[in-house]
A and B are shown apart, each in its own frame.
Chain A
Amino acid sequence: DVKVTQSSRYLVKRTGEKVFLECVQDMDHENMFWYRQDPGLGLRLIYFSYDVKMKEKGDIPEGYSVSREKKERFSLILESASTNQTSMYLCASSSLQGAYDFGPGTRLTVT
């Protein structure tokens, strides 16, 4: 019953490292999203994609980039990790108007 998977559940990186977070969905969804969850701030949208090779900035894109070369895969890249990017990262996918299916999340710690 695999739906949305994320490459790592827990990740520890050093400041300045380039970090790749991978997300794969098997539902043939058009839309894919990256959110981060922080206490008291809820879920904030970083980037989303509504088609292969298409991407749009969300509310907090600074310090991040994304890549969607195939429909099923959406990658989040932290170009130079900083301690304020320590967070829970959640990938989601959806059909055109559908509810999101979320992955299990990646708890990233930047030291």
Chain B
Amino acid sequence: DQQVKQNSPSLSVQEGRISILNCDYTNSMFDYFLWYKKYPAEGPTFLISISSIKDKNEDGRFTVFLNKSAKHLSLHIVPSQPGDSAVYFCAASGYSGTYKYIFGTGTRLKVLA
């Protein structure tokens, strides 16, 4: 049972436009969410986080939105750049003795020059 889902395996966007990556979760106890970016043959790198007490968090070109009632979060990248081409993973966690993140299956973003 996939508790964290990224239903779009891939996404193509023109350079300079907005990229929107989506993530859905099923467990209402999740209270902290992360986005990671991963290039081939490298480890994932942390991008941005959001806690359940907020509905939006911004960091430069990256904004994460959280809709708790829909159990949905999204990552917006504006403007998209070719260097943003990578696989993006969302992850969710709730306290269960320790914090352990469950990852989605990833969305491959391709930004076209």
Known A-B contacts A102-B43, A105-B41; the reply to A31 vs B99 at CB < 8 A is yes
In whole angstroms, how far apart are the Cα atoms of A86 and B51 in the complex? 35
Find the A residue at minimum CB distance from B97: A50
Task: Say if the beta carbon of B25 comes within 8 Å of chain A.
Answer: no
Task: Tell me how many residues of A have a C-beta within 8 Å of chain B.
Answer: 28
Whether the Cβ atoms of A4 and B100 lie closer than 8 Å is no
Decide: A105 and B43 in contact? CB cutoff 8 A: yes
Instruction: Kindly name the residue among A4, A42, A45 whose own CB sees the greatest number of chain B CB atoms within 10 A.
Output: A42
A92 CA / B49 CA spacing, docked (Å): 17
Name the B residues within 8 Å of A43 (CB-CB): 44, 89, 91, 103, 106
CB neighbours (8 Å) of A40 from chain B are 9, 105
Q: Which residues of A contact B32 (CB under 8 A)?
A: 97
Q: Would you call B44 and A90 a contact (CB within 8 A)?
A: yes
Task: Tell me the minimal C-beta distance from A30 to chain B in angstroms.
Answer: 8
Residue of A nearest to B47 (CB): A99
Which residues of chain A (13-47) have a CB below 8 Å from chain B? 31, 33, 35, 40-45
- Interface membership of B98, Cβ < 8 A: yes
Which DSSP category, helix, strand, loop or mixed, fits chain B's interface? loop
User: Taking the nearest CB of chain B, how far is it from the CB of A59, in angstroms?
Assistant: 8
Interface pair A42/B103, CB less than 8 Å apart: yes
Chain B residues lying within 8 Å of A107, measured Cβ to Cβ, are 41
Interchain residue pairs A-B with the least CB separation, the first 7: A102-B43, A42-B105, A43-B103, A50-B98, A99-B46, A104-B43, A97-B99
Q: List 27 A-B contacts (CB under 8 A).
A: A9-B41, A33-B100, A35-B103, A40-B9, A42-B89, A42-B105, A43-B91, A43-B106, A45-B100, A45-B102, A48-B100, A50-B98, A58-B100, A90-B43, A90-B44, A94-B99, A96-B98, A96-B99, A99-B46, A100-B46, A100-B101, A102-B44, A103-B43, A104-B42, A104-B43, A105-B41, A107-B41
